[in-house]
Amino acid sequence: MFCESTYGDSDRPSTTHALRRSHLAQEVRDAASGRGALLIPAFAVERTQELIVDLADLMARGEIPTAPIFLDSPLAIRATEVFRNNAASLDPTVDLDRLLTFNQLHFTETVDESKSIARLSGFHIIIAASGMCDAGSIRHHLKRWLWRRKGTVLLAGFQAQGTLGRFLRDGAKAVRIQGEEIKVAARIRYIDEYSGHADGPELARWIAARRPIHRGLFIVHGEEHALGGLLNRIAERTVPTAQIFTPLLDDVFAPTSIDVARRRRLTPDAVVNLDWHNDMSKLLLDINDQIEAAADDRSRGVIIRKLRKALEGA
């Protein structure tokens, strides 16, 4: 059996829909006071739709300022249409069809429509993928807003090691986006009530409900402390320690017999830490920037010859 462990070492406080909405409302009001953009990185399926429904309902009730909400993700737009078309089959207590067609909700389906958001002034909300800021249109919006004190970034879910979202949550003073270093002056905020992951006790109960586990339990999808935390919760009490495995890159397990011999290309730390590949990428980007910034073709030729000479002398 395989089980995720994202929050395997955590006992997350119980929360209600009302409490989640209350926390979101406070973050929106704080962001609105800055009179800039509120950027919400969000995964396209389910998390985006939950955020839209709560934002639309809070605006309709007057609990947060009315402002345009831009959904800037083609996949999220398609997913939202699926939710809307099947609203009657989801939550009968919530008018999903009304909230997902809220008059302040705008879909930006083309590159030009996405770029046009940059011309807005005043408070507005942009929801865009990806949820950890490692890809997608959210990076373009971050590039425009991170250096502005008026902007707010609200991280609404788990941010894995090595992702741009994690760097922001950990308080990075500057980040690199599309080869350009951006200073972080915007407010960086975090709420985790929208995360879809179970915490440690929930995972332990889920595993226990599936006993007996005859062959082995693989604990995956978690950072080292989370893997260890879940292992400590269940070892011996729920599953014999010898039957629990926390596979790492390049571990090999045969279906007929479990082989824990580890033949890895990389150490566990190297998976999330910067290495020479990152240095090479930065160098190439810097070279490209210098060549593009040169005054003319002659100047570009001088730069290239100097680089070639440096390589030949290395």
> Is pLDDT at 228 greater than 60 in this prediction?
yes
pLDDT of the residue at 168: 96
**How far is Cα of residue 72 from the mean position of the Cα atoms in its chain?**
15
pLDDT of the residue at 190: 96
Q: How far apart are CA 195 and CA 178, in angstroms?
A: 27
Token pair recorded at residue 186: 């915007």
pLDDT (tens digit, 9 = 90+) per residue, 137-160?
Answer: 999 999 999 999 999 999 998 999
Of 42, 56, 80, nearest in space to 157 by CA: 42
**How far is Cα of residue 258 from the mean position of the Cα atoms in its chain?**
34
Token pair recorded at residue 291: 């060549």
**How far is Cα of residue 287 from the mean position of the Cα atoms in its chain?**
30
Q: Does the model's pTM come out above 0.85?
A: no
Q: How far apart are CA 190 and CA 204, in angstroms?
A: 26
**Contacts for 192 with CB less than 8 Å, ≥ 6 apart:** 12, 156, 157, 158
> Is pLDDT at 258 greater than 60 in this prediction?
no
The neighbour count for residue 209, using CB atoms within 10 Å, is 8
Q: Which residue do the tokens 């249409």 mark?
A: 81
Determine the average pLDDT of the residues in 12-21: 84
- Yes or no: say if 37 and 141 are a contact pair by the CB < 8 Å rule: yes
pLDDT of the residue at 260: 58
Token pair recorded at residue 106: 């705008």
Region for 139 from its dihedrals, namely left if φ exceeds 0, alpha if ψ lies in -120 to 50, beta otherwise = alpha
The 3-state DSSP class for residue 37 equals strand
Confidence of residue 256 (pLDDT cuts 50, 70, 90): low
> Is pLDDT at 297 greater than 60 in this prediction?
yes
pLDDT (tens digit, 9 = 90+) per residue, 17-71?
Answer: 888 999 999 999 999 999 999 999 999 999 999 999 999 999 999 999 999 999 9
pLDDT of the residue at 12: 84
pLDDT of the residue at 178: 86
> Is pLDDT at 267 greater than 80 in this prediction?
no
Confidence of residue 87 (pLDDT cuts 50, 70, 90): confident
pLDDT (tens digit, 9 = 90+) per residue, 234-252?
Answer: 998 889 999 999 998 888 8
Confidence of residue 5 (pLDDT cuts 50, 70, 90): very high
Highest mean pLDDT among 172-176, 195-199, 288-292: 172-176
